[in-house]
Chain A
Amino acid sequence: EPEVTQTPSHQVTQMGQEVILRCVPISNHLYFYWYRQILGQKVEFLVSFYNNEISEKSEIFDDQFSVERPDGSNFTLKIRSTKLEDSAMYFCASGEGQNYGYTFGSGTRLTVV
């Protein structure tokens, strides 16, 4: 069964450092998303991406965050200057269409120390 692949599975970084989280969505999917889940809390929307541009972003997705689809297969989330409160599980997801459920990757656990 097709899957969404995320790397790394766990990233530890120092506060103020830049991190890039990588995702390979399912190949025929057109819609891409990043969500995050702080330990013990709900899954929170960060950003949606379609046709090489951001469709919508949340208040969490401030100027420190950016997304890119550099080569037609990878989809990346960059956090420029990490804060302690950025520590969370980050999930990439992709979907065939806006009105369909989407498939989540296995997540990257980001720990900012």
Chain B
Amino acid sequence: QKEVEQNSGPLSVPEGAIASLNCTYSDRGSQSFFWYRQYSGKSPELIMSIYSNGDKEDGRFTAQLNKASQYVSLLIRDSQPSDSATYLCAVNNWNFNKFYFGSGTKLNVKP
């Protein structure tokens, strides 16, 4: 069983649209959830964290968490071509010693 699952994409959206990225996880003991952005050939960059059910907004980004459904999502409003990257969902394990990463969703924002 995969710990964290993401649709690999690519997800293509036009510039200015909302991009919606989804992630499911298997460990009900997970407490912390993160979204990282990874440009090709570069390291993951933390963009959002969420710990409680509901929505968390930071600029153009909104993270959503539903622990009952074991589901995390990331919305990117007013998508820009510079948002084109692979988005990695990361979930901590039950004892907080590591993250499980999803395989990432590749986002293409077309001008």
Q: Is the pair B98, A91 in contact by a Cβ cutoff of 8 Å?
A: no
- How many A-B contacts at CB < 8 Å in the complex? 54
B1 at the interface (CB under 8 A from A): no
Indicate the member of B88, B98, B101 with the most A CB atoms within 10 Å: B98
Complex interface: chain B residues within 8 A of A41 (CB):
103
A92–B36 Cα distance when bound, in Å, is: 15
User: A74 interface residue, CB < 8 Å from B?
Assistant: no
How many residues of chain B get a CB closer than 8 Å to chain A's CBs?
A: 24
Do most interface residues of chain B lie in helix, strand or loop, or is the interface mixed?
loop
- Say if the beta carbon of B44 comes within 8 Å of chain A: yes
Contact B51 A43 (CB under 8 A): no
The digit string for A66-101, where 1 denotes a CB below 8 A from any CB of B, is 000000000000000000000000010000001111
Q: Measuring CB to CB, which residues of chain B are less than 8 angstroms from any residue of chain A?
A: 31-32, 34, 36, 42-46, 49, 51, 88, 90, 92, 95-104
- A: residues with CB less than 8 A from B are 33, 35, 41-45, 48, 55-56, 58, 91, 98-107
